[in-house]
A and B are shown apart, each in its own frame.
Chain A
Amino acid sequence: MHLFVQSLGFGVVTASIIAIGAMGFTLQFGLTNVLNLSFGSLMTVGGFVAYLAESAGINVWIGLVLGGLAGAASTLIIGKTIFKVYARRGTRLFEMVMVTLALALIIEYAVDAISRDQIYQLTFPQGTTFNVGAISITAAQLAIVIIGIGIFIALEVMLKMTRLGKALRAMAVDPSLARSCGIPTDRIINTTWLVSGFLCGVAGVVFVINALSVDSYTGTLFLPSVLAAAILGGVGSPGGALVASLVLGVVTELVAAAGGSAYSTVAAFGVLVVVLLSRPSGVLTAASRKVELTV
């Protein structure tokens, strides 16, 4: 029993890491309709920036922001150059997903080449350990949870209460109508690349803070969880992504605690399969709806 309560605590931490990535992913995907499989590789880039910042003696929180900025900048550049070129040429949705995967491959192995195919260890101080009942959680893990919740609240406020959020939601529903209503769609898209890229980089950094090691495969390994959470939570819904991440994170850690650490991701994936099979409207009606690339 004690083990399961403890793993519940780990589950919440894992969920927060997944959630930060999934919220970024779902925001990007919801607006642009690019199912960006290079998201994982860009998370690795964020993680490596955090590693470089740490080895340069920079404070971990500044490293977090730097990792986020690296993610934001690279996502914006990719969105404005590569994705835009393909969209202009009439690349269809399913071809775009192949473009993003090719990009993922390139980024992953570029990082691999630069990092000389090594695993790098980090020594972030984990801080004091708090004990809440049977759950013990380190200060660093607590900070990750708080960051996750903070990002969720900030995103919700941005989407629901600001003019930018209103414009963003309008564009997600109908980009051409939004354009003719005078919404500066280009600027909104740029903002989306920046915000989602920032979250991508931050997700990479918090993953590294928790795992304390980084290599070129880190983000790719973590991509299934992020994708599953984003698909499960419904496109463009940070709240959905958060709840889905919580489910995935807790299931992952519970299965690991039950002795099947090899199968923990499978269990999380099982949740997605069940949802795919039971046809929730959020995931499956998308097939008949006309969707278009907005980049």
Chain B
Amino acid sequence: MGAFTYYISTLVVYFGIDLLSAWSLNLQYGYAGVINFSFIIFQAIGAYIASTVVLGPDTGINAYQTYLFGANLPWPVPLILAALAGAALSAVIGVFALRRIRRDYQAAVMLIVSLIALQVVSADVHLFNGSNGLTGIPKPLEGALNVSLASYQWIYAAFVLAICAVVYVIVQKLCRSSWGRSLRAIRDQEDAAISIGLNPTLLRLEVFILGGAIAGLSGGLLVEFIGAWSPGAWGYAETFVIFTAVLVGGVGNNRGVILGIFLVPILFLELPRFLPAFGYPGLIDAIEWMVIGALWMLGLLVRPRGLIPERRFVAVRGGSGAIAFDGAAPGFFGRLLMVGRGDGVPMRRRAATVAQPAPPADKATAGSASERTELS
């Protein structure tokens, strides 16, 4: 098998897994405004659970690794358990981190969780074999399929992309549902959302758990592919690769983040592999991380909503009251029609559904440039 096809098929798998991660984060940050700085630990727990339930019971014979929840479960079960583990951990963390506190506090608490989780799992060998991590995780159905390594790679890549397609459809449906509108309402106008009977804490918890499930699933898919998992794979900074991709691609736009994932983790982080090595080992990594940070800051400065920003939701008259349409849904002519009609909607109805563009923040208003919840 050519090394190149092997490399490309590996990249396709990574692309799919990163996409799942990005949609999970986008659901939380883009739609609900939850700044999940601990994202990577949900992927990590999914990976750990998916590994231990196929590694067999920890009888102590395998002296080189110790772990919890050892079992021998048939193939699709580990992935389901991984998603459930991600959801369960999200529920636990969400219960205290998503209280009605300032969003920057929430973010700080999540970062603390991420740092501490890394410390604990590295230090305690009884959980998931400490800093050495788990190895020897069998590839699912490798024996049953009985194909060459190259074919297996491509089959797995197709499987990951198929899961991506399913998750995409679910996420898009949810984002366009009334639940998705509630999420955007609590993101943009929390006080107004409360006044019409929405519960921001509960909605945030729901989206947090859903995102956690997707993250867990992505972790399970990743570990079944690479066959090993250790704390080195989920440092707190890993979250920011995905975050940067979402910020670059398009906050609140599930198609935009596809571009972001292609640009940041795939193109940007893979290209340096072709550079001649220079400096001491680790220098290129360090530079990559610095550039990720710089990209992130630049994104926030220049295009806080990403290259392909969230589509404006325009209220149209007719049907059953004010219905929010995704600007992309009706096609080009439909959109022309809708913009025209949207302009005719009375202001008091539009105010609830139309996302208004942020006015230019000049020096005069910079003083109150804080939680301007009325702006999107």
Query: A and B from one assembly?
Result: yes
Using Cβ atoms and an 8 Å threshold, which residues of chain B touch A90? 358, 360-361, 365-366, 369, 372
User: Interface size for chain A: under 10, 10 to 19, 20 to 34, or 35 or more residues?
Assistant: 35 or more
The number of residue pairs between A and B whose CB atoms lie closer than 8 Å in the complex comes to: 182
- Proximity bits, B102-144, A CB within 8 Å = 1, else 0: 1111011101110110011001100000000000000000000
Determine chain B's interface SS by DSSP, over half rule.
helix
Distance in angstroms between the alpha carbons of A96 and B372 in the assembled complex: 13
Cβ contacts B236-253/A at 8 Å (1 or 0 each): 110010010000000000
Q: Is the CB of B112 within 8 A of A91?
A: no
Interface string of B348-376 (1 = CB under 8 A from A): 00000000001011010111111110000
| A224-B99 contact given A86-B300, A102-B240, A112-B286, CB 8 Å threshold | no
Contact between chains at B115 and A220 (CB < 8 Å): yes
- Cα distance A117–B300 in the bound complex, in angstroms: 29
A163 within 8 A of B: no
Interface of A is mostly: helix
Asked if A99 and B297 make an inter-chain contact with CB atoms under 8 angstroms apart, the answer reads yes
Contact A37 B111 (CB under 8 A): yes
Judged by a CB distance under 8 angstroms, whether B1 is at the interface is no
B361 adjacent to A88 (CB under 8 Å): yes
Q: Report the Cα distance A231→B113, complex, angstroms.
A: 14
A88 and B363 within 8 A (CB): yes
Do residues A263 and B301 form an inter-chain contact, with CB atoms below 8 A? no
Complex Cα–Cα for A90 and B102 (A): 18
Please indicate the chain A residues that have their CB under 8 angstroms from the CB of B361 in the complex. 88-90
CB distance from B110 to the nearest CB of A (A): 10
- The answer, yes or no, to whether A139 is at the interface (CB within 8 Å) is no
Chain A residue contacts of B240, Cβ below 8 A: 101-102, 105
Nearest B residue to A84 via CB reads B366
**Is B292 part of the contact surface with A, judged by Cβ < 8 Å?**
yes
B52 CB to closest chain A CB, in angstroms? Answer: 19
- Please state if B296 and A227 are interface contacts (CB–CB under 8 Å): no
Instruction: Answer yes or no: B63 CB below 8 A from chain A CBs.
Output: no
Residues in B whose Cβ lies below 8 Å from that of A89: 301, 361, 366, 369
Contact (Cβ within 8 A) B283 A113: yes
How distant is the Cα of A269 from the Cα of B92 in the complex, in angstroms? 14
State how many residues of chain B have any CB contact under 8 Å with chain A.
58
State which of B99, B107, B304 has its C-beta within 8 Å of the C-beta of A276.
B99
Q: Is the CB of A92 within 8 A of B370?
A: yes
Which positions 236-276 of chain B face chain A at CB distance < 8 Å?
A: 236-237, 240, 243
B133 → A minimal CB distance (Å): 15
> What B residues does A224 contact at CB under 8 A?
111-112, 115-116
CB distance from A48 to the nearest CB of B (A): 15
B280 within 8 A of A: yes
- Please determine whether A105 and B115 come into contact, CB atoms closer than 8 angstroms: no
Query: Is the Cβ of B120 less than 8 Å from the Cβ of A97?
Result: no
Q: Assess whether B325 is interfacial by the CB under 8 Å rule.
A: no
Bound together, the chains give a CA A263 to CA B120 distance in angstroms of: 6
Q: Does A87 make an interface contact (CB < 8 A)?
A: yes
Give per-residue flags for A149-177: 1 if the beta carbon is below 8 A from chain B beta carbons, else 0: 00000000000000000000000000110
**How far, in Å, is A18 (CB) from chain B's closest CB?**
13
Is A105's CB under 8 angstroms from B369's CB? no
A244 to B100, CA, bound (A): 21
Q: Does B70 contact A (CB under 8 A)?
A: no
Pick the contact of A283: B105, B119, B236, B290 (CB < 8 A): B105
Query: In the complex, are the beta carbons of A291 and B370 less than 8 A apart?
Result: yes
Query: Within 8 Å CB of B100, what residues of A?
Result: 284, 287
* A91 to B296 CA separation, bound complex (whole angstroms): 14
Q: Does A221 contact B (CB under 8 A)?
A: yes
Inter-subunit contact B115/A106 (CB<8 Å): no
Expressed in whole angstroms, the minimum distance between the Cβ of B146 and any Cβ of chain A is: 43
Check if A4 is an interface residue, CB within 8 A of chain B: no
**B48 at the A/B interface (Cβ < 8 Å)?**
no
Q: Considering the chains assembled together, what is the distance between the CA atoms of A159 and B33 in angstroms? A: 36
Please name the 5 residue pairs, one residue from A and one from B, whose CB atoms are nearest each other, closest first.
A90-B361, A292-B370, A262-B123, A105-B293, A106-B293
Known A90-B372, A113-B290, A269-B116; further 19 A-B contacts with Cβ < 8 A: A33-B370, A37-B108, A37-B111, A88-B369, A90-B361, A94-B104, A95-B304, A97-B35, A98-B300, A99-B297, A99-B300, A101-B107, A109-B286, A112-B286, A231-B105, A265-B119, A276-B96, A277-B95, A291-B371
5 example contacts (A-B, Cβ-Cβ < 8 A) are as follows A35-B107, A91-B369, A97-B35, A103-B297, A109-B286
